[in-house]
């Protein structure tokens, strides 16, 4: 029967001994692999006890620990910068790049509000019009839609140009100097806004504003001002159009609801579209500093503990002559899992403490503390 | 095909056993087998004159002791002490086994009735042996293959599964003067 060798006390790393080979040709990784194997074996009790693992088990754990470290690091970087990364080029690795914060994604996010507010956005608005008919107050815009090759359900009216001419066109130039009592007179003659240029008194802007408000309020109260009501694409306009209005076009703007959805989906081939394609590659082990490597060593040990636990725990009892024994697989497994969780938690805390937010908060605190400390310096009276 | 108790698992058991018996429990005994070529026997197969012994072999063993007793007999007070010596069977196989080559193990002996085991400078004669401890109930020495090397039920690799763990020797105490085992050749 075969004899499967166990850890003999030393090892010699060579490329190809790890499952994935991510770091096999990294000179520092190659140099550390055997040291880590020895460290783990001795931490697991060798040479007092046998360790039923081989060098490749330790190398596997070492590779996994390095990859976990990189995953945690880059996941943190992605979380920290995703708003600045989304939509960026996904073809080139970001490993050695510094990411400057930008507002590109925030502005993209804001486009939706622009669409709804009619100030930009990412969905087109279209213009349409209906012809008014004298004495007809109600107009079915679904009918208009079908006449124009649209589905009424897909049309959302965004704006109706129902307003009266702007008040600024309705009163003559205040520099005309004819006084408030003549408001509307020049307009009635068709030359509102023209200035007879007889008043050279400098008038403040609030004077103009007050006049415009006055005109608009007059229109609303003294006249039946223009308005409309739109419910379920049924347009009712006020006042009831007169016969003279027949044929006049009432313009409105609308958007197509399906475009609102379609326009929100952007083709992102070769671009960063989610956290899975942010272009981070496996790190170069040789660039990981001693703080990171120390973490990796500890994580390697935790993984090795789990491995050894699985080996020793495959069978509940191990037969020995005339009896059987139970090995410490359960303890090893519990210890390994606990170590692993603690290490990951420690690393995440460490990363979080170096986030932009945390660093800014720290600077703020330092500044506050420094200022507070300065207040304890006696304020002497200068004697010249 | 069998699934559990494959040679890889058994190898791990062997490592654990040798560590446990060699480094943790560390009970050692000396095993003597009679040299049947040198020993002259009578018509009943008894050694009527001197008994000759092969070179002793040092073995790890798990020792299970019963209480000593002192029964009265016609010639006085006797002394009895029954001891069970449990050996890892793999330790007793020869050096040609892969797991024994390049190791201190591989005694190449088969315990039999009449063998002598020395422990604590006392001698114990083997009354009976027991090789009946099989992991997952299988002994890989029996793979049930026909003349063509096939197992009719399709289990072609039974020789790689199971484990005959131990050989257990039940013994009784024997006074040293009855055995005439001596490390000094000049005795003869």
Q: Pick A319's closest partner by Cβ from B8, B13, B21.
A: B13
**Do A168 and A194 form a contact (C-beta atoms < 8 A)?**
no
Residues B86, A321: C-beta atoms closer than 8 Å: yes
Alpha-carbon gap: A347 to the closest alpha carbon of chain B (Å): 35
ipTM given for this complex: 0.89
Whether B167 has a pLDDT exceeding 70, the answer reads yes
- Model confidence band, residue A363 (pLDDT cutoffs 50, 70, 90): very high
The pLDDT value given to residue B188: 45
Whether B183 has a pLDDT exceeding 80, the answer reads no
* Share above pLDDT 70 across residues of chain A, in percent, rounded to a whole number: 91
A149 touches chain B (CB under 8 A): no
Owner of token pair 């009163």: A171
Whether A312 has a pLDDT exceeding 80, the answer reads yes
What mean pLDDT is predicted for residues A193-201? 57
User: What pLDDT digit, counting tens, does each position of A175-184 carry?
Assistant: 444 444 454 5
The pLDDT value given to residue A189: 66
pTM of structure:
0.77
User: What pLDDT digit, counting tens, does each position of A268-291 carry?
Assistant: 899 999 999 999 999 999 999 999
Q: Pick B133's closest partner by Cβ from A2, A3, A322.
A: A322
**What is the per-residue burial (b if ≥16 Cβ within 10 Å, else e) of B128-158?**
ebebebbbbebbbeebeeeeeeeeeeebeeb
Residues A323, B99: C-beta atoms closer than 8 Å: no
User: What pLDDT digit, counting tens, does each position of A81-110 carry?
Assistant: 999 999 999 999 999 999 999 998 888 888
Other CB atoms within 10 A of residue A5 CB: 10
Quote the crossing angle between the two packed helices A104-117 and A55-85, to the nearest 10°.
Answer: 40
Kindly report the CA angle at B116 between B111 and B119, in degrees rounded to 5?
110
Identify the weakest region by mean pLDDT among A15-19, A325-329, B16-20, B175-179: B175-179
User: What pLDDT digit, counting tens, does each position of B53-84 carry?
Assistant: 899 999 999 999 999 999 998 889 999 999 99
Enumerate the H helices of chain B as residue ranges.
7-19, 89-92, 176-179
What mean pLDDT is predicted for residues A239-249? 90
Q: Which residues of B touch A4 (CB under 8 A)?
A: 8, 11-12
Whether A215 has a pLDDT exceeding 60, the answer reads yes
Residues B166, A321: C-beta atoms closer than 8 Å: yes
**Do A164 and A150 form a contact (C-beta atoms < 8 A)?**
no
The pLDDT value given to residue B133: 96
Alpha-carbon gap: A358 to the closest alpha carbon of chain B (Å): 50
Q: Pick A321's closest partner by Cβ from B15, B160, B168.
A: B168
What mean pLDDT is predicted for residues B41-56? 83
Whether B1 has a pLDDT exceeding 80, the answer reads no
User: What pLDDT digit, counting tens, does each position of A25-50 carry?
Assistant: 999 999 999 999 999 999 999 999 89
Whether A222 has a pLDDT exceeding 60, the answer reads yes
Alpha-carbon gap: A333 to the closest alpha carbon of chain B (Å): 18
Q: Pick A321's closest partner by Cβ from B10, B87, B98.
A: B87
Q: In chain A, which residue's Cα lies nearest the Cα of B132?
A: A322
Token readout for A153 is 């359900």
Phi first, then psi, for residue B38 (nearest 5°) are: -85, -30
Alpha-carbon gap: A52 to the closest alpha carbon of chain B (Å): 7
The pLDDT value given to residue A175: 45
Whether A193 has a pLDDT exceeding 60, the answer reads no
Q: Which residues of A touch B59 (CB under 8 A)?
A: none
Q: Which residues of A touch B140 (CB under 8 A)?
A: 1
**Do A22 and A59 form a contact (C-beta atoms < 8 A)?**
no
User: What pLDDT digit, counting tens, does each position of A145-182 carry?
Assistant: 999 999 888 999 999 998 877 777 665 554 444 444 45
Give CA–CA dist B141/B161, Å, rounded: 9
Other CB atoms within 10 A of residue B94 CB: 12
End-to-end CA distance of chain B: 58
Beta strands B122-130 and A249-256, pairing class: unpaired
């Amino acid at each position: 029967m075969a004899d499967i060798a166990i850890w003999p006390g030393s090892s010699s790393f060579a490329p190809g001994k790890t499952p994935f080979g991510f770091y096999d040709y990294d000179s520092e990784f190659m140099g550390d692999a055997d040291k880590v194997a020895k460290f783990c074996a001795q931490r697991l009790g060798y040479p007092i006890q046998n360790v039923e693992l081989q060098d490749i088990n330790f190398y596997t754990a070492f590779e996994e620990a390095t990859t976990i470290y990189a995953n945690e690091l880059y996941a943190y970087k992605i979380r920290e910068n995703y708003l600045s990364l989304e939509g960026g080029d996904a073809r080139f690795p970001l490993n050695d790049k510094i990411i400057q914060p930008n507002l590109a994604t925030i502005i993209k996010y804001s486009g939706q509000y622009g669409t709804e507010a009619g100030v930009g956005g990412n969905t087109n608005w279209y213009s349409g019009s209906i012809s008014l008919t004298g004495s007809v107050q109600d107009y079915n815009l679904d009918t208009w839609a079908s006449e124009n090759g649209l589905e009424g359900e897909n049309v959302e009216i965004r704006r109706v140009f129902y307003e009266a001419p702007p008040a600024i066109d309705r009163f003559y130039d205040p520099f005309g100097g004819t006084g408030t009592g003549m408001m509307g007179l020049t307009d009635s003659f068709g030359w509102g806004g023209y200035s007879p240029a007889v008043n050279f008194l400098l008038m403040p802007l609030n004077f103009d504003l007050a006049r415009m408000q006055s005109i608009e309020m007059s229109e609303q109260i003294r006249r039946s001002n223009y308005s409309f009501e739109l419910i379920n694409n049924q347009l009712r306009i006020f006042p009831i159009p007169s016969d003279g209005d027949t044929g006049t076009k009432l313009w409105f703007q609308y958007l197509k609801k399906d475009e609102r959805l379609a326009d929100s989906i952007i083709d992102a081939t070769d671009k960063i579209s989610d956290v899975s394609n942010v272009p981070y590659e496996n790190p170069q082990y040789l660039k990981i500093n001693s703080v990171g490597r120390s973490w990796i060593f500890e994580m390697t040990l935790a993984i090795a503990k789990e491995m050894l636990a699985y080996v020793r725990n495959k069978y509940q009892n191990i037969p020995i002559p005339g009896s059987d024994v139970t090995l410490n697989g359960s303890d090893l497994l519990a210890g390994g899992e606990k170590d692993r969780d603690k290490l990951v938690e420690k690393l995440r805390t460490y990363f979080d403490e170096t986030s932009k937010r945390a660093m800014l908060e720290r600077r703020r605190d330092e500044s506050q503390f420094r200022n507070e400390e300065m207040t304890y310096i006696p304020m002497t009276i200068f004697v010249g | 095909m069998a699934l559990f108790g494959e040679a890889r698992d058994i190898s791990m058991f062997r490592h654990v056993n040798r560590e446990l018996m060699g480094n943790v429990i560390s009970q050692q005994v000396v095993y003597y087998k009679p040299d049947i070529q040198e020993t002259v026997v009578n018509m009943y197969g008894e050694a009527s004159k001197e008994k000759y012994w092969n070179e002793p072999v040092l073995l790890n063993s798990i020792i299970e002791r019963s209480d000593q007793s002192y029964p009265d007999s016609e010639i006085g007070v006797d002394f009895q002490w029954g001891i069970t010596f449990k050996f890892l069977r793999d330790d007793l196989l020869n050096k040609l086994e892969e797991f024994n080559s390049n190791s201190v193990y591989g005694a190449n002996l088969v315990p039999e009735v009449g063998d002598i085991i020395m422990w604590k400078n006392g001698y114990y004669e083997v009354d009976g042996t027991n090789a009946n401890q099989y992991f997952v109930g299988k002994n890989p020495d029996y793979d049930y293959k026909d003349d063509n090397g096939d197992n009719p039920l399709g289990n072609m690799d039974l020789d790689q599964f199971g484990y005959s763990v131990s050989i257990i020797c039940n013994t009784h105490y024997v006074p040293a003067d009855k055995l005439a085992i001596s490390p000094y050749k000049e005795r003869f």
